[in-house]
Chains A and B, each alone.
Chain A
Amino acid sequence: MLKTAVRKKVIYAVSIFMVLGVIINAVYTLLSIKFTTERLKILLTITAIETPILIGLAIWLIILWFRPIIHFLEEMEEKEGKSSETLAQEAREALVQIPRRIVVLEFATTFIIGLSAGAWMRAVYGHLSIWESIAIFLSTFINSVNVSIILFYLTIRFRAPILRLAFAAERVEEKKHKVGLGIGFKTQVAVQSLMLLSLFLGSVMFINFTANTLEDRVKIEANQLVSDAADKIDLLIELKKTDKKSLADLVRNTKLGEGGFSFLLDEKRKYLVKGEKDLPLIKILDVHRPGYQEDVANGIYIAHTPIKKLYWTLGTVCFMKDFDAPITKMWSLLLLFTLIILVVGFIYAYFITTDVTIPIHNLIKSSQRIADGDLSHVVTVVTSDEVGLLANISNKMMHNLRKSMEDLHEHAQTRSLEKNKLQDNIKKLAVVIENAAHGDLSQTVNIEGAEELSQLVTAFNKMIEDLRNLIHQIKEASIQISSAGSEILATAQEQSSGSSEQAASVAQVTVTVEELSSTSKQIADNADAVVKIAEETLQSAQTGQDGVQDVIAGMEKIKETTEAGARRILTLGEKSQKIGEILEIINNIAAETKLIAFNAAIEASRAGEAGKGFAVVAAEVKKLAGNVVDATKTIREIAIEIQTLSSQSVMAIEEDVKKVDIGVGLAQKAGESLEEILDMVDQTTKSAKQISVATQQQRTASEQVVSTMHEIAEVSKQSAASSQQSITSVSELNTLAEDLKRAIEKFKLEE
C-alpha cells in the first residue's frame, strides 16, 4: 500500500515538473529570439532530444532518492512500529542529502543542454547576433533555475511527513531546528514570483510583437520605395537621359532611415551607382524578379527590383537599428516598472506577513518558556484576531496552574524541618565512631542540646584521648631504627653493584683483546702470503717484458723486408711502361714500312711488265709490316697486364706495412703496461711487509693486556662476594623495623 502511494506521488511529481519545465523553456526561447523557419526547425529538434534526456534523468534520480525511503517504510510496516535506529538514520540521510544533489544535477544538465543548443544554432544558422546569444544564455539560465526551484519545492513537500516519521521512529523529541523555510519568506517569494512572472512575460510579449510589427512596416516601405524609384529610372530610359549624373542623383535620393542607401547594378552585376557599403548580401541577389535579402541577426534588409528594359537591378538597403528607438524606450520603461513593482511588492508582502507571523512567533516563544517550567511568564499578544484570543486563553490557564502549585509547596516545608534535626546529630556521632574504628583518632564528638546522647559522647571522648598518647610513643622509636638500617643498606648495595659492574667490564675487555690478538695473527699471515705472490708476479712480468721487446724487433724486420719487396715491384711496373713506349716506336716503323711497300707497288705498276717481280716483293714487305703490327699488339696487352698486377701488389704490400705498424704500436703498449704492473707489484710487496711487522708488534702488546685484565677480574670478584654478605644482614634488620612502623601508622593522632 505504502509503496504504491509513494510511486503515484513520484509519477505526479515527474509529470508536473516536466510539463512546467518544457512550457517555461519554450516561452522564454520564443520570446528571446526572432524566428525564421530554419531556427524553428532547430529549436523543435533540440526540444525533441532534450525532453527524453530530462525525463530519463529525473526518473532515475527520483527512484534513487526514494529507494532508501521505501525500504525504511517497508521495515516499519513489518515491525509494527518498532523502530531501527540505523534505518531511520539512512532514511534521514536520503531525505536531506539526495534532494540537494538532484537539484544541482538537474540544474547542471538543463543548463548544459541549453548552452549546447545555443551553440548548435550558432553553428548551423551562423547569423545569431551577440544580443541573441546573450538572450539564449539568459533564457537557458532562467529555465534551469525554474526547473531547479520546482524540483526543490516538490522534494520538500515529499520530505516533510516522512522526515517526521523517521524522527518519531527513533523516539527522539523534536528539536528546535527549522524544517524548510518560514511562512513569511514562503509567502513573499510566492507573491513576488507570480507578480513578476506574469508582468514580465506579458510585457516582453507585447514589446516583441510591437517590434515585429514595426519591422514589417519598415520592410513594406522599403519595397514601395524601390518600386517607385524603378519607375523613375524607366522614365529616364524613355527620355534617353541615362547619363551617369542624373542616375546617381536619383539613386542617392532614394533612401530609408538615417544609415540607409541604394545602389544600381548593370546587366553584369557590376555597380553603375555604388552605395556607401559593399555588403556580401548584395552578391546573392536574384536579379530577375523583385524581392528582398535579409540578415536577421544584424538587422539588415535589402529590397530590390529589376529594371527590365536594360537588365539592370535597383536595390535599397535599410538598417533596422535606425527605427528601434521606440522599442528601446519600451524596454527601459519595462525595466523601470519591474523594479518599482519589485520594491512595492516586497514592502507590501513584508507588512502582510509580519502582521500574521509576529503574534504567532511571540505565542510560540511564550509557550516554549512555559514548557521549560517558567510559570510566571505572561503571553503578550495584543491583536484582536484568532491569535489574540488564543493568547488570552493561555494566560488564564497559566494563572490557575500557578496558584495551586504555590499552596502545595508551603504545606510540605513545615513538616520536614523537625525531622531533620534529630537525624543530623545521630549522623555526626556515627561518622566519628567509624573513623576511630579505621584508626583515625584525631576527632572528638561535639553535640549541643541533645540530652539522650550526652553521656555516651563523654565516655567515648575519654577513651580516644588515652589511645592517642600510647601510640605516639611507639611510633617515634620505630622511626629511628628504620632510618639507621636504611642508610647501612644503601651503602652496601652501592658497593656490591659497583664491583659486579667492574667484573663484567673486565671480562668484556679481555674477550675483545683476545679477539684482537688472533685477528692480528691472521693479518700477519695474509701479508706474508701477499709478499710471496707479489714476488712471483714480479718475475712473470719481467719475463713478459723481454718477450714484448723481441716481438717489437721481429716486427721491425718484417716491415723492412716488405718495403724492399714493394720497391722492386714498383721498378718492374716502370720498366713495363717503358716496353710500351718502345712498342709505339716499332709500330710507327711498321706503318712507314707499309706505305713504302705501297709506293713500291705503285712504281712497279708504272714500270709495266718489267716491274712485276718488284711488285711481288713489295706485297711481301707489306705483309711483314702487318705481322709486326699484330705482334706489337700482343706484347702491349701483356705489358699492360704486368703494370696492373704490379700496382695491385704494391697496394697490398702497403696495407701489410700498415698492419705491421699497428702491431708494433700494440706491442709497445703491452710493454708499457707491464712496466706499470712491475711498479705496482713492488709497492704491494713493500706495504705487505710493513703490515706484517706492525701486526706482530700489536699481537705482543695485546697478550700483555689480557694477562693484566685476568688479575683485575679476580680482585673485583672477591670484593663483590663480601659486600653481598653485609647486604643480607642489614636487610633482615630493616624488614623488622618496617613491620613495626606499618603497625603503628594505622593510627592517626592529630588533625
Chain B
Amino acid sequence: MEIELIFFRVQNQLFGIEVKSINRVLTSSINKKTKKIHLEEAEIPIIDMGAYLNLNNHKTNGKKEIIVVELDGVKKGLLVDEILMVLNLNLDRVKLLPPFIKNTAKKDYFWAVAKLEDELVLLLDIRKLYGFGNW
C-alpha cells in the first residue's frame, strides 16, 4: 500500500499533507492580514500556517503559495512559504504518533510522522483545522 503526500515548507520546517484531501495549489502575493480569497465565485478563508503552528517570527510579506484543502465540500486555504514536491510513500515508512505525545502536546496538530531519506516529517491532521476531535 502507498500513500500520496505533498510536502511544503514553512520557514525552515518541512511538513506533509495527504494529496487526496487537496483541491488545488495556487500562488498569491498576499500578506498576513488577508483573511479570505475568492476562488470560482466562492469565498475561501485563509489560515496562515506560520501563526497556526506557532512559527510566527517569520516575514509574512512577499511571494507565498496557497494549498486549498477540502473536507466534506468545505474549502480552506493554507498559506505556506513554498511547495516542494509530490511523493508516493510506502505505508511502512509512515508511523502514527503514540497517544502519549498527542496528549502531552497543547494542540495536537499532527497525526503521523513520515520517514524520508534522512529526516522525519510531521504530517498535518486536516480534521483539526475543521474543529474535529480525535479519530
Contact = CB atoms under 8 A, between A and B. Distances in A.
Interface in A596-654: 598-599, 601-602, 605-606, 615, 619, 622
A602 B83 contact: no
A235 interface: no
A248 interface: no
Interface string A639-678: 0000000000000000000000000000000000000000
Residue of A595, A599, A602, A605 with most partner-chain B CB within 10 A: A602
A319 B116 CA distance: 108
A602 B27 contact: no
Contacts of A619: 86
Interface string B13-35: 00000011011111100000000
A745 to B, nearest CB: 149
A592 interface: yes
Contacts of B26: 595, 599
A591 interface: yes
B112 interface: no
A486 to B, nearest CB: 142
Given A602-B24, A605-B4, A595 B65 contact: yes
B65 A602 contact: no
Nearest to B24: A599
Contacts of B86: 598, 601-602, 605, 615, 619
7 closest Cβ contacts across the A-B interface? A601-B86, A605-B19, A598-B25, A605-B4, A599-B24, A602-B22, A595-B25
Contacts of B20: 605-606
Interface of A: 591-592, 594-595, 598-599, 601-602, 605-606, 615, 619, 622
B6 A591 contact: no
Interface in B24-70: 24-27, 63, 65
A354 B4 CA distance: 157
A571 to B, nearest CB: 32
A636 B87 CA distance: 32
Nearest to A598: B25
Contact of A592 (B4, B27, B83): B27
B25 A599 contact: yes
8 contacts: A598-B25, A598-B83, A599-B25, A599-B26, A602-B19, A602-B25, A605-B19, A606-B20
A644 B24 CA distance: 43
A598 B6 contact: yes
Residue of A592, A598, A601, A622 with most partner-chain B CB within 10 A: A598
A622 B26 CA distance: 14
Nearest to A619: B86
Given A605-B19, A615-B86, 10 more contacts: A591-B63, A595-B65, A598-B6, A598-B83, A598-B86, A602-B6, A602-B22, A602-B25, A605-B4, A622-B85
Q: Tell me the dominant secondary structure on chain B's binding face.
A: strand
Contacts of A622: 85
B27 A595 contact: yes
Given A598-B86, A605-B4, A605-B19, A591 B27 contact: yes
Nearest to A601: B86
A598 B23 CA distance: 11
Contacts of A606: 20
Contacts of A594: 83
B89 to A, nearest CB: 13
A378 B52 CA distance: 155
A163 to B, nearest CB: 118
A598 B85 CA distance: 8
A307 B27 CA distance: 99
Contacts of A591: 27, 63
Contacts of B85: 622
Nearest to A591: B27
Nearest to A599: B24
Contacts of A605: 4, 19-20, 86
A602 B17 CA distance: 12
A388 B27 CA distance: 159
Contacts of B4: 605
B79 to A, nearest CB: 14
Interface string B63-91: 10100000000000000000101100000
Contacts of A595: 25-27, 65, 83
Nearest to A618: B86
Interface in B85-131: 85-86
A598 B25 CA distance: 7
B65 to A, nearest CB: 7
A591 B25 CA distance: 12
B39 to A, nearest CB: 13
Contacts of A598: 6, 25, 83, 86
A595 B64 CA distance: 12
Nearest to A600: B86
A409 B85 CA distance: 176
A673 B83 CA distance: 78
B85 to A, nearest CB: 8
A622 to B, nearest CB: 8
Nearest to B22: A602
Contacts of B19: 601-602, 605
B22 to A, nearest CB: 6
Contacts of A601: 19, 86
Nearest to B65: A595
A208 to B, nearest CB: 97
Contacts of B83: 594-595, 598
Contacts of A615: 86
A615 B4 CA distance: 12
A619 B84 CA distance: 12
A706 B93 CA distance: 141
B80 to A, nearest CB: 12
Contacts of A592: 27
A594 B19 CA distance: 16
A622 B7 CA distance: 14
A606 to B, nearest CB: 8
A602 B87 CA distance: 11
A615 B22 CA distance: 15
Contacts of B6: 598, 602
B78 to A, nearest CB: 14
Nearest to B26: A595
Nearest to B63: A591
B27 to A, nearest CB: 6
B8 to A, nearest CB: 10
A587 to B, nearest CB: 10
Nearest to B67: A598
B102 to A, nearest CB: 28
A619 B86 CA distance: 8
A552 to B, nearest CB: 59
Contacts of B24: 599, 602
A364 to B, nearest CB: 131
A615 B19 CA distance: 13
B20 to A, nearest CB: 7
B6 to A, nearest CB: 7
A622 B82 CA distance: 14
Contacts of B22: 602
Contacts of B65: 595
Contacts of B27: 591-592, 595
Contacts of A602: 6, 19, 22-25, 86
Contacts of B63: 591
